[in-house]
Amino acid sequence: MRTGLRALVITLWLFSVPIHCFSQAEGILTDTLKLRTAPSLKSKQTGTLKKGAHVTLLEATPTDGFYHVRASRNREGWIWARGVKLAQPGAKAGSKSRKLVRHPASRELEPHKPGEAAAMCQPDLASCPPAGCAAPDSPHGLANRLKRTLPTGSNAVVLTFDDFASLQQQADNLVGEDKELTAEQRAQLKGLTVSNGQVSEGDVVSLVGYLVGTPHPNTGESVNCNLKQEQNNDFHIPYSNAPNNTDFDGIVIEMIPQNRPDTWNLANLTQVENNQQLVMVTGGLFYDNFHRVNGDPNNPQSGQPHRFALWEVHPITQFVVCTKMDNSCDPSQPGDWSPLGGG
């Protein structure tokens, strides 16, 4: 059974979104700046970037005193060049001098009803049913089954991080956050608009990005029969569009323990995160209705994982890492990518 995930073959469609090489210079804001549509103080303001934020310089030299940059969540525009300090070249992706460290990330705590014990309901993972500890026909049981269902279909819908922000807005309007969803309510999460057309919960999707924060195992969830220990739990992986982002600027992707390949381990994931390597993941689109969005670092919510959207790639069915030092891998070229751990 361990070969189950390895045997799942997914044909990826060509990415319509350009993948920028991380060889472009990185900058750190020395002041809070306005993001603008053009290199002029008269141009429209589209957002505010706070002091200390990291940006990618899309052009090496300023234009009329402004840098053309890409900020978190793929926001692109122009900022005043005098408020930007160029990052040290030694901080680039793939540097072999980087020390392996485990950066902090938020923990995911599964909510329990008052008086409900998080006790094991099965002796081992092999005995754990698809609905976990929940009643099979209950809303929680339905969510558990979705978390463990490998998506069907041969073509992955290619998403961007902007798509995930849009999907969250649509979900908020349709079903809300932090509550149980019945089958009828989950059925509303279908035909949602994204840049490449439409998607529904459970569809197979792909996303290119970086690991931010430390991948870690959850600590006993109903879906896995409340079993403890790393080998019995999902791996919670913060994922964002830029390597210097925090998990507040990302989403969560998860590897389930059932039939998880040996190379999908925390040591290999941490190494990828430390090396700031570009990653491409494929898997099922899942809406984590049990939590609330927690994407504002200035107003963090206790007990809620850091992320700007509750949509996840869960379960992950394919995880490949860019093999080029400058992260210039082409999603349409399989030879540019290698399975996690080389396995």
Determine the average pLDDT of the residues in 239-267: 96
- Cis status of the peptide bond prior to 62, with omega within 30 of 0: no
**Higher-confidence position of 82 and 213:** 82
* 5 pLDDT higher than 60: no
Q: Residue 104's pLDDT is what?
A: 54
Q: What is the average per-residue pLDDT within 38-43?
A: 93
- Closest CA relative to residue 36, chosen from 10, 17, 63: 63
CB 64 within 8 A of CB 40: yes
pLDDT mean over 37-57: 88
Per domain, the residue ranges of the chain are 11-16+99-342, 26-91
Q: Contact 217/247 with Cβ under 8 angstroms? A: no
- Strands 11-12, 155-158: pairing kind: parallel
Q: Are 308 and 251 in contact (CB under 8 A)?
A: yes
245 touches 212 (CB < 8 A) = yes
Q: Is the Cβ–Cβ distance between 125 and 214 less than 8 Å?
A: no
Average model confidence (pLDDT) for the chain?
A: 85
CA dihedral over 108, 113, 114, 115, signed as positive or negative: negative
Least confident of 61-70, 76-85, 86-95, 126-135: 86-95
1-5, 202-206, 245-249, 299-303: range with lowest mean pLDDT: 1-5
Tokens of 18: 């350009």
pLDDT of 162-203, one tens digit each? 999 999 999 999 999 999 999 999 999 999 999 999 999 999
Residue 296 above 70 pLDDT? yes
Question: Which pLDDT score, from 0 to 100, does residue 99 have?
Answer: 45
What per-residue confidence (pLDDT) applies to 59?
A: 87
Give Cα separations from 282 to 95, 223, 328 (angstroms). 26, 21, 19
> What pTM did the predictor assign?
0.72
Average confidence (pLDDT) over 93-104: 43
Query: What fold characterizes domain 26-91?
Result: SH3 type barrels. (2.30.30)
Confidence of residue 76 (pLDDT cuts 50, 70, 90): confident
